[in-house]
Amino acid sequence: MRGLDNTPLTEALFYILLAVRTPNHGYGIIQDINEMTGGRVALGPGTLYGAINSMLTKGWIRLYSEDKESRKKKEYLLTSRGMEVFQNEVQRLQELICNAQKMEQSNLMDVDGR
């Protein structure tokens, strides 16, 4: 995982942060991401396990609950630090889209001008 907080998030990290805005467990996160992307992003359990541990360390997510009796199902939840990281990323992506749209518009003007 990347060391600095301000580098672009990978698709996996971005979607995991989205999936834990309400308490969610491992398999739930995989399913939610699958649904959100229409099956395009199928997160591997190893990738998710590594990402969760790394984000717990960084304090982007926290352990919400742990079912100690039955199957030790752990639920994770977004922290305010994680929220901040996520919002920064959304801002960065919006800038990308905004600039891409500008290019499209100027292309259209070129075509019209001819």
Partner 1 sequence: MLKFRLYYDKDAEQDWLQKMCLEGWALKQFFLGFYTFVPCEPGEYNYQIDILDNWHGDKTDYATFMEEAGVEVVGQWWRWVFLRKKAADGPFEMYTDAQSKIAQYRKIKRFFTVFLVIETICFLMELMAAMETGEVVIGALTVLLGIITLALLRIVWKCQWKIEQLRREEI
Q: Which residues bind partner 1 (CB under 8 A)?
A: 1-2, 10-12, 25-27, 30, 41-51, 71-74
Handedness of CA 49, 33, 68, 59 (dihedral sign): positive
**Residue among 96 and 108 whose Cβ is closer to partner 1:** 96
Q: Considering the complex, what minimum distance in angstroms separates the CB of residue 19 from partner 1? A: 13
Contact at 8 Å (CB) between 57 and 3?
Answer: no
Rounded to a whole number of angstroms, the minimum distance from the CB of residue 47 to partner 1 is 4
Give the residue with the Cβ less far from partner 1, 2 or 102: 2
Instruction: Write down the least CB distance from residue 10 to partner 1, Å.
Output: 5
Cβ closest to partner 1, residue 39 vs residue 113: 39
- For 29-80, the DSSP string reads HHHHHHHHTTTS----HHHHHHHHHHHHHHTSEEEEEE-TTTT--EEEEE-H
